[in-house]
Amino acid sequence: MIESFGVRLAARVAVAGPLVAGIDPHPGLLADWGLSIDVNGLERFAMTCVDAFAAEVALVKPQAAFFEAFGSRGVAVLERTIAAAQAAGSLVLVDAKRGDIGTTMAAYATAFLADGSPLAGDAVTLSPYLGFGSLDPALELSAKTGRGVFVLALTSNKEGPSVQRARADSGVSVAQSIVDAAAERNHGADPLGHVGVVIGATVGETGLDLSRLNGAVLAPGLGAQGGTVADLRRLFGGISGQVLPSSSRDVLRHGPDVAALRAAAVATRESVRELGESTGAAGHSVS
């Protein structure tokens, strides 16, 4: 029987705390690290991050777009990054934000969630804005293969609120409808279901009821974007044990020295570790 993503996630968080460390090889960061802005620099950046982070954090999160920008050779580096991080003990969340319909969505699901695919980590981010039901191929395949998905719900970009905070005639916001749909998929799972949601650490008051989610919340924006541990406690109070804070730039600025990167990741991990102490605990409404 395949071990579910929720079980594997809870086990990893118990060992390494809840931190998600981003691997974002932005050209500006490659330059800051003194690396060439090409595939060789990309690979050196990514493997340095794996060396520094994989044994220390719950998940590493490579941003697929920065690899894809270098074409097929960049995608090959992403494949090697996923494999190296998993071999080092970390779970891998591929930040690809895929979303489409029908056979196209099924193809994305195969690429990022199927057994044997070199792009399949342990989870992938998805966009539900063609309708939550359009994600069914990915939701079904991830359940079958023991992987997870994180669905965008309430993001911190300034363009997000016009869509995500919009309300239906029933008064329910779009973001709440996404949380509710994820909760339906997670019903009865123990300790957590395989469908998580993405809620930015800097979104302010969410107005969301997360009490029935029974899944993980990826909370990007810790550190350089302004999110703090106090924000996480305020936003996610009763479900803090289900929250996975994500930090990228604030840790990556300490590169390219592996020891300095690792030390930054460990310091950030310890600052948020208490959030993961009750993973799977019952949640409450948050505001």
| In-domain check, residue 47 | yes
Identify the domain containing residue 270 by its residue range: 5-276
Q: What is the pLDDT of residue 285?
A: 40
pLDDT value at 1 more than 70: no
Radius of gyration of the chain (CA): 18
Q: What is the pLDDT of residue 276?
A: 62
Q: What is the pLDDT of residue 204?
A: 83
Q: Which of 61, 97, 144, 158 is catalytic?
A: 97
pLDDT value at 286 more than 50: no
| In-domain check, residue 227 | yes
Share of the chain above pLDDT 70, in %: 95
pLDDT value at 21 more than 50: yes
Q: Confirm if 6 and 196 have CB atoms less than 8 A apart.
A: no
| In-domain check, residue 281 | no
* 56 vs 139: CA distance, rounded Å: 29
- The region, left, alpha or beta by phi > 0 then psi within -120 to 50, assigned to residue 106 is alpha
Q: Which has the higher per-residue pLDDT, 279 or 116?
A: 116
| In-domain check, residue 211 | yes
Work out the angle at residue 124's Cα, subtended by the Cα atoms of residues 146 and 280, and round it to the nearest 5 degrees. Answer: 60
Number of domains in the chain: 1
- Tokens representing 263 are 């030390």
pLDDT value at 109 more than 90: yes
**258-272 and 39-53 helices, crossing angle to 10°:** 50
pLDDT value at 224 more than 80: no
- Tokens representing 248 are 């990228």
pLDDT tens-digit series, residues 162-211: 999 999 888 999 999 999 999 999 999 999 999 999 999 988 888 999 99
CATH assignment at residue 16: 3.20.20.70
| In-domain check, residue 284 | no
- Among 191, 158, 171, 220, smallest CA distance to 283 is for 191
pLDDT tens-digit series, residues 25-84: 999 999 999 999 999 999 999 999 999 999 999 999 999 999 999 999 999 999 999 999
Backbone angles phi, psi at 82, to 5 degrees: -60, -50
- Tokens representing 50 are 């794996």
| In-domain check, residue 188 | yes
| In-domain check, residue 285 | no
* 247 vs 265: CA distance, rounded Å: 9
| In-domain check, residue 286 | no
The verdict on whether 61 is a catalytic residue reads no
